Each structure stands twice: as structure tokens, then as C-alpha cells.
Amino acid sequence: MKIIMLGAPGAGKGTQAARVADEYRIPHISTGDIFRANIKGGTELGKKAKGYMDAGKLVPDELVCDLVADRISQEDCKDGYVLDGFPRTIPQAEALDKAVAAMNGKIDFAVNIDVPDEAIVKRMGGRRACTNCGATYHVEFNPPKQADTCDVCGSKLVLRDDDKPETVKTRLSVYHEQTQPLIDYYEDQKILVTVDGTKDMEEVFSSIKEKLGA
């Protein structure tokens, strides 16, 4: 199963992608996590991406498309994958279609997690992210067992710099301008499914599974 997660920043893409990946035993590919790992590792790509990310802007398409095309051509992706945070622009969606078609495949579902902007701002302030493995928590809605410590790997949790309210506002307007058009793009391809992302995490996951026919 090849799945794309769509939604505003903070809609719950990462949270649900991790569950979907577990359920179908397929890799969870987060471009945000890939960029953050590159920044941490001090790579050329990380250096190029950092300024855009800190400003709440999108990293240019040419820095992300080949990277994803390469990742999904790896052996562990042969039975499918869940893409979290990619595509985010129409050119990225077109590049993905091309890459998938070149491997004689097709995307099965684009899952749109629908959450209004008001709810997003509250969620982002409470998000805590693992500096090591990328797992995310919420201080109120999904707290870790031990404060500021990752349940999965024991590393420290932080409030991401780009989750501060000013940057969240920029990211939301970038989302509406550049990413929201993908909803129509996948609707036209007849692979769009939409779930109400304001429900609690378990309910959102159940409705995703239902729509994917699991």
C-alpha cells in the first residue's frame, strides 16, 4: 500500500503515519525528519534547508524531489510506504507521480486529515518532539510517560523552534497557498480520502483504517 498523508502542519500526519506504518508494516517516510536529521548531522543538505525551515517556509522542490524518489526506490519500500510531509506542492506531486510510474506503481490513497486553523495553533504549542527518533507527543493530548523524555528511545523532548506561534502562522499560510491545492489534485485522481482530524487520535486512526479498507 502506497499512502500519502496530507494536512496542515500539526493536523496529525506524523502521529497517524506512524500508526499506519505499523499496521501495514511499511516504512514511515517523513521529509521533515529527514531534513532535521541532516541539520543535526551538519550535511550540505541540512545547511541548505535550515534557513527555510526556521522561517516556516518550504524548502525548494529541487532539494526534496530527488531525495524522495531515491528513498522510495529502496528495497524496504517495495511493498509500499507512507509519505508524511511530502508532497507539499503541485510540482512535488507531479514529480512523485513520475517517480512512482517509472517503477510501474501507483499511489493508492491520499489521506487528508482535516483540522481547522484555530485548533492547529493550540496543538502546536503543546507538541514536543524527540531530538533523536522524531516521535512526537503533546503535553495535554498525548503526554510521554516521563516528562520531557521519549517513550520510544529515552532521548530528550523539545518544543521545535518552528512550532513557536509566529512561525506557525507563517506555516499555515504557506500551507493554504502551496499545499492545500493538492486536495483537488488527488480528488481528481480519485484517491483522496478525508478524515475529521479534530477527533481524538484513536478515532482518527479508526476512520483512516476504515477508509483504507483494513
| Catalytic residue positions, numbered | 13, 88, 127, 160, 171
**Nearest distance in Å: CB 129, ligand ADP:** 7
Interface with ligand ADP (CB under 6 A), residue total 36
Task: Please report, for the chain, how many H helices and E strands are present, in that order.
Answer: 9, 8
Site string for Zn ion, 153-192 (x = CB under 5 A): x-x-------------------------------------
CA distance 128 to 139: 7
Of 168, 169, 147, 145, which is closest to residue 157 (Cα–Cα)? 147
Which range touches ligand ADP (CB under 6 A), out of 70-78, 82-90, 98-106, 187-195? 82-90
Contact 191, 109 (CB under 8 A): yes
Backbone dihedral region of 160: left (phi > 0), alpha (psi from -120 to 50 degrees) or beta?
A: beta
**Nearest distance in Å: CB 20, Zn ion:** 19
Residue 133 engages Zn ion in binding (rule: CB under 5 A): yes
CA distance 92 to 179: 10
Residue 4 engages ligand ADP in binding (rule: CB under 6 A): no
**Nearest distance in Å: CB 119, ligand ADP:** 8
